[in-house]
Amino acid sequence: MSVARRVLPALPSRRGWCPGLARPMPTGDGLLARIHPASGVLSLAQAKDLAEAARRFGNGHIDVTARANLQVRGVTEETRGPLAAFLDAAGLGDARHDGGPQRLTLASPLAGLDPAERIDVPALARAVEAAGLAIPGVPAKTLVSLYGGGCFGPGEAEADIVLRAAEAGRVALALAAEDGPDRIGEVAEAEVAGTVAALLDAFARTGRRRVRDLGQDERHALTRAAARLTSPERERGSVAPNGAWAGQRGMPPPAGLHVLSPSLTILAVEAPFGRCDADALDALTRIAATLGATEIRLSSTRGFVLPATAPASAESALADLAAAGFVVAPEDPRRAVAACPGAPACASGSTPTQVDAARLAEAFQPFAARGLTAHVSGCAKGCARPAPADLTLAGHDGRYGVVLDGGPGDEPATQLTFEAALERVRRADSTETLHRAFDTRPIKSDP
């Protein structure tokens, strides 16, 4: 079912920058400071320091983002400076101060550990990061996604440039487009960083914020800038001919236990709706140490991955992590429901999305078991989930616009209180679609 986009004259404004430590962003619960751990990896000492920083300089709440970064909430004008100094001393400071991306790449949380990977993903990510740092004017939201061809990958983040292992030490490249990644060729692994640098430099010159917004001529300019992409001879080491982007990008490990080898078990957990607190992060760090882990890896599932070299206690550790508030099972219905911070944490939100999402998840369980998804958004921006959902509740003036098979920016079928929407989900026949549960006639309001 196609969904019409609605006209949103009062759409909450985007604040126009990506909040780092040097420049946090004001929101409903104070200032929000984003931390970008290198390669999405925290040492146990850094994780402990981050929990302490959230307590001392924020309100104790920590967000895990879809790009596998972290956010400390509730920072004040008085504490922003001490927070930045504290985390900089912990090795978690901003990587750049020119407005460019603090972290350019996103890879599998198991990069370098996944035995099925066909390229050296960590080394490639470091090379791309270094190349990006040298290019002025790269937009702050620019993202390069890397998939090494292993059992797990980076997920479905909205990358501007997508890199994927091909055959015999080669890497396929694609540029973001409206209908998904548009493959532009292949290069040898050793040539990836230079090719990406040429693409980023050309992209920065367009003045656009995202690659997907480029016009056709601008796209051609990007590929021309990387001379190897247009080599008519297709010499050894040059980009292979263009073609369709075949296959799927790998997804991160879902919540639960994953045995990679007899000596390495992975524990993957998720923060419910992308939110945990300092106490939960402390618990995660303590449990990681008991498993023999020396680091905590962030995942685009809005969660964490623990590489356990002492897997005998993995089952009990998973139970302890559940007690600390984390999602630990793939069938947990909260995994099927996306939610932003909402009110009062976000100034744009008009509804308590975190509380409402937790209640919706319980009722949504039969639909989640069938693979359906839901999204509870505090406003029409839809920050928690860019993709459409089977059921979207978009907050507006304390109520929710109901969108089926769409997103918060689409025209709602009806406006309901949360209790009314929840009751319809509870009454719905879980063997059918959600359309029968909601009135899809022209928009109206409950009395």
pLDDT tens digit string along 2-26? Answer: 455 444 434 444 455 689 999 999 9
Pair of tokens at residue 291: 């498993």
Mean pLDDT computed over 153-180: 92
The string of pLDDT tens digits covering residues 273-317 is 999 999 999 999 999 999 999 999 999 999 999 999 877 889 999
Contact criterion met (CB below 8 Å) for 341 and 23: no
- Name the amino acid, one letter, at 129: E
Which residues partner with 390 through β-bridges? none
Higher pLDDT, 167 or 50: 50
* Diameter over CA atoms, the chain: 70
ω into 232 cis (within 30 of 0): no
All structural domains of the chain: 25-89 (3.30.70.3340), 110-230 (3.30.413.10), 256-329 (3.30.70.100), 335-437 (3.30.413.10)
| Percentage with pLDDT > 70 across the chain | 89
- Of the candidate ranges 153-162, 223-232, 400-409, the one whose mean pLDDT is the lowest: 223-232
Mean pLDDT computed over 101-115: 97
What pLDDT score was predicted for residue 235? 38
**What region does 185 belong to: left with phi over 0, alpha with psi -120 to 50, or beta?**
left
The string of pLDDT tens digits covering residues 232-281 is 333 333 444 454 454 456 899 999 999 998 888 999 999 999 999 999 99
CA distance 107 to 110: 8
What residue ranges in 104-224 does DSSP mark as E strands? Answer: 105-106, 144-147, 161-165, 170-175, 182-188
Tell me: pLDDT of 156 over 80. yes
Contact criterion met (CB below 8 Å) for 62 and 119: no
What pLDDT score was predicted for residue 167? 85
Mean pLDDT computed over 47-52: 99
| Percentage with pLDDT > 90 across the chain | 80
How many other β-carbons are positioned within 10 Å of the β-carbon of residue 280? 21
- Give the β-pairing of 105-106 and 144-147: parallel
Tell me: pLDDT of 160 over 90. yes
Mean pLDDT computed over 193-200: 96
Which residues lie below 8 Å from residue 232, measured CB to CB, with a gap of 6+? none
